[in-house]
Structure 1
Amino acid sequence: MKGNNFFIQQYHGLSYNHGGVGYSDMEKILVANGYLPLNADGNSMQSGQSTAGRLVRCIRLAFSVPRNAVVVFIYPMYARMSRLLIRILLTRGIRCQCILADIDGVKDGDPVLLENELNWLGRFRDFIVHNPVMETWLRARLGEKVFSPLQFFDFLSAPASGTREKSATIVFAGNLGKSGFLRGLDHPALASVHFNLYGPGQPQDLPITSLVTYKGAYPPYELVNLLEGSYGLVWDGESIHGPAGGLGIYMGLISQHKLSLYILAGLPVIINSTAACAGVVVSEGIGLACDDLTRLPGILASVTDQQYASMREKMIPFAQRISSGRQLTDALKKISH
């Protein structure tokens, strides 16, 4: 139904140095699939239009959408006019489909916010979610909705070329300021492991030693070809010993964008065993699960050259899908049936 598919545009023209690039890529994939943008807030705000003018524009935009249309939006949605647009569309009986990118109430450990989010999300029927774990979690709270899991986030960058060799050098890329476990990387049990860190927010008390190197922050699409190491680490929270703190718990519900980055970079993954994607990483043979980072030396020593090469080989089809937007494209098709 090309011409009757729309999306609420929120991220056009914005630049990111972290996982937010995934939202921008989602909008690019929607455009590539024939979805037309509805911009209720961004451009009018930048032009200095009055609140009344923006309100009139939003209402006109809502009533320009055909009744048989499908409108996709990415949640969370912070812009007031975009949220108003959704409310008007729902009132008109237009089918609105939610790409659930984040659940702030869980991430921030805020039960009041979470209750408000679930009440708002309960208005919708169709959801594209991170993975089957998130689907199960939401079914228990929202009831029988229609869910389509992504499993991996798309990342519209060409897969890295070149080869890698097995070593004890591990890459971690992300917002370093929110990754409290990094302060424990100088643990004596990790003396044989080297960590290369990439991203913004370097903490002042980060242990930069001969075994922990800060490599800097780079634009996401360049980062794929800049990561130096043999493995990519998916870990979050406050402790090297397992999930701790709000983000450590949240890791058990989400698919992290850095996982897609590592797949594109050809870095076999080391993932916290409680993470939502740990099962698929292990079952698809693209990485290893670990419940405590102090056990890394033994885990790395057990990997043969052949096993390492096999993990890299098995990442190739996933990298091709992720780099071409197939994860979201297929999820959209599934949820529209």
Structure 2
Amino acid sequence: MKYYLKEIIQNNFNERNAGSKARIDTDHILEALGYQPLESFLEIATSNSKLLKLTSQFYKYQELQTVFSEIQVGDEVVLQMPIQKQTLLLANCIRHLKKRNIKITILIHDLEAIRKMTMDSISFTTKIQISLSELKILKIADKVIAHNYRMKEKLVELGISEDKIVELEIFDYLLPEITKLKKAQKNNPIVIAGNLDPEKVGYIASLPQNIDYNLYGVGFTSDVKNPRINYFGSYLPNELPSHLEGSFGLVWDGDSATTCSGPFGNYLRYNNSHKASLYLASGLPLIVWEASALAAFVKRYHCGICVNSLTDIADELASLTDERFEILLQNTSHLGDLVKKGYFLTKSLDK
């Protein structure tokens, strides 16, 4: 039998944040491929008590052990990492599965060993714990689905066997068939969608004022004074694509408009931002940072443009011919059809 761990958040008060969209889509794709769900219910912690947090570690461990007890010798299970029901004893849970000759595949959503290593808000001890915990799990697994070749190289550098790593290329973004999209127009504003919290996208405060931008998402602050910015509010992940209107979708993080900087910006060197999948599913070609891992994807499939700085976008658009833009649209439409039907995860699991 083939299984996957399906984690259900019982008190999710932030449904307009697309953070869970990738996990939910993964669940749907796996079920369509015949994987059976192992349901694990999770409540978002509301207490900062160290004692309660410590107690919850053991509770989570016991609960996962109970869930995993359904799996029989020789079965397969897919785990999405990081597991939301996180426990320091997770590696032990997985080690017990391996002893029963159960095949384990890890799909990486975020690699905390990279993402949080440069965050000042995370203590050194916690960073070490995160790194060691993740590496243990990845080393135990039979197969690891990484975002791209850059993440694969980083994992190999961290001691994970290259033979077990498969590249996803891009996340899927499932949409209802009835979704109607607005066609991208060459002279329309640049779309910026997703988490607009200044801590993550501080660069919005210094966007060049020589082009227009349409913003969608949670966390936008009215303190940003830029006459070229139009803010359209937030929508649920499956509704958002039908509201996006623009020419390109921008994938950029950090506090600078001249380069992707800070913990979030640097993470783009290894990460496939889920908003790239949102844009492709919405029919929008991409604008990405030249130094990001996504740049290789954009160049391989000719589905957007790469820039070193946001100040370069105006010149890039000015030199973009109508014929070239139509080619980008055609390639984007093809990729959009693929991500909307779960092609990339299915391909990775076949490998």
Place the TM-score, normalised by the shorter chain, in its bin. Answer: 0.7 to 0.9
**Counterpart pick for 2:112 among 104, 124, 127:** 104
Residue in 1 aligned with 2:277? 260
- Change in Cα spacing, 1:219 to 1:213, as seen in structure 2 (3 Å) is same
Secondary structure of 1:312's aligned partner: helix
Residue in 1 aligned with 2:100? 92
Secondary structure of 1:6's aligned partner: strand
Normalised TM-score (structure 2): 0.84
Normalised TM-score (structure 1): 0.87
Worse-superposed segment, 272-281 or 119-128: 119-128
Quick one: distance in 2 between partners of 1:41 and 1:173?
Answer: 29
Residue in 2 aligned with 1:146? 164
Structure 2 residue 154 is matched with structure 1 residue 137: yes
* Residues 139-191 of structure 1: per-residue CA shift (max 9 Å, x gap): 12123241111111111114754533211510001111021111111xxxx33
TM-superposed deviation, 1:35: 0.4
Quick one: distance in 2 between partners of 1:265 and 1:73?
Answer: 28
* Residues 295-331 of structure 1: per-residue CA shift (max 9 Å, x gap): 1111110011111111001112211110011111111
TM-superposed deviation, 1:135: 1.0
Quick one: distance in 1 between partners of 2:152 and 2:86?
Answer: 27
Aligned 8 A contact 1:62 1:88 in 2: no
Residue in 1 aligned with 2:50? none
Residue in 1 aligned with 2:52? none
- Change in Cα spacing, 1:242 to 1:89, as seen in structure 2 (3 Å) is same
Worse-superposed segment, 290-299 or 60-69: 60-69
Which amino acid in the other structure matches residue 279 of structure 2?
Y
Structure 2 residue 201 is matched with structure 1 residue 179: yes
Aligned 8 A contact 2:191 2:248 in 1: yes
Residue in 2 aligned with 1:229? 246
Q: Which runs of 5+ in 2 are unaligned?
A: 46-54, 119-126
Aligned 8 A contact 2:60 2:85 in 1: no
TM-superposed deviation, 1:88: 3.0
Q: Which runs of 5+ in 1 are unaligned?
A: none
Quick one: distance in 2 between partners of 1:19 and 1:55?
Answer: 24
Quick one: distance in 2 between partners of 1:230 and 1:294?
Answer: 17
Q: Percent identity?
A: 29
- Change in Cα spacing, 1:160 to 1:137, as seen in structure 2 (3 Å) is farther
Quick one: distance in 2 between partners of 1:53 and 1:114?
Answer: 22
Tell me the matched-pair count: 321
TM-superposed deviation, 1:199: 0.7
Which amino acid in the other structure matches residue 38 of structure 1?
L
Which amino acid in the other structure matches residue 217 of structure 1?
S
Structure 2 residue 78 is matched with structure 1 residue 78: no
TM-superposed deviation, 1:60: 4.6
Which amino acid in the other structure matches residue 195 of structure 1?
Y
TM-superposed deviation, 1:270: 0.8
**Counterpart pick for 1:164 among 174, 184, 187:** 184
- Change in Cα spacing, 1:317 to 1:60, as seen in structure 2 (3 Å) is same
Q: Which runs of 4+ in 1 moved over 6 A?
A: 50-57
* Residues 2-42 of structure 1: per-residue CA shift (max 9 Å, x gap): xx100111147864522420111101111111001112444
Secondary structure of 1:216's aligned partner: coil
TM-superposed deviation, 1:133: 1.4
Aligned 8 A contact 1:8 1:71 in 2: yes
Which amino acid in the other structure matches residue 73 of structure 1?
L
Quick one: distance in 2 between partners of 1:59 and 1:211?
Answer: 53
Aligned 8 A contact 1:272 1:278 in 2: yes
- Change in Cα spacing, 1:88 to 1:204, as seen in structure 2 (3 Å) is farther
